[in-house]
Amino acid sequence: MKFVVPKCDLTFEISEDWWVLAGMVGYTTELQHYNTNSTYKEISSIQEIIPPLRKGGIIWFRDRDTVIELLQGMRNNEKIPPIEVSCEQKKLKVHDGFHRFYLSIALGYTNIPIKEAFDFETFFANEN
């Protein structure tokens, strides 16, 4: 199954077998974003986030089980961690949340829960 990243030239695919195994056939939602387990989060428009890419500038999913588990969790309104982002050129850059970002698009969400990524470089640079 092919999906388009909003306001971007990127497309990505999710195996139809994975979609079926996750129970997503015929699934629709009126929610704008998935449920999250964090109290330290904000909600951002997906369009304000720079789409994350793997090495070589491509989009591919780590493994079948991760995709199926996340899709089922989103479908069942389970609490899922927000993606971790930092600000880069007035847009948000994903540090952790590749799968959650793209699966949110696949499910038709317009927003996504986010939280600021911990900046280890600044932390250690200021430590004396």
Identify the CATH number of the domain in which residue 40 sits: 3.90.1530.10
DSSP 72: H
Q: For the chain, how many structural domains are there in total? A: 1
Q: What is the pLDDT of residues 21-80, one digit of tens each?
A: 999 999 999 999 999 987 767 999 999 999 999 887 778 888 899 999 999 999 999 999
Query: What mean pLDDT, rounded, does the chain reach?
Result: 89
Range(s) of the domain holding residue 64 = 2-126
| Tokens read off for 31 | 């929610």
Question: Structure pTM?
Answer: 0.87
Q: In 10 A of CB 98, how many CB atoms?
A: 19
- Cα separation, 112 vs 67, in Å, equals 17
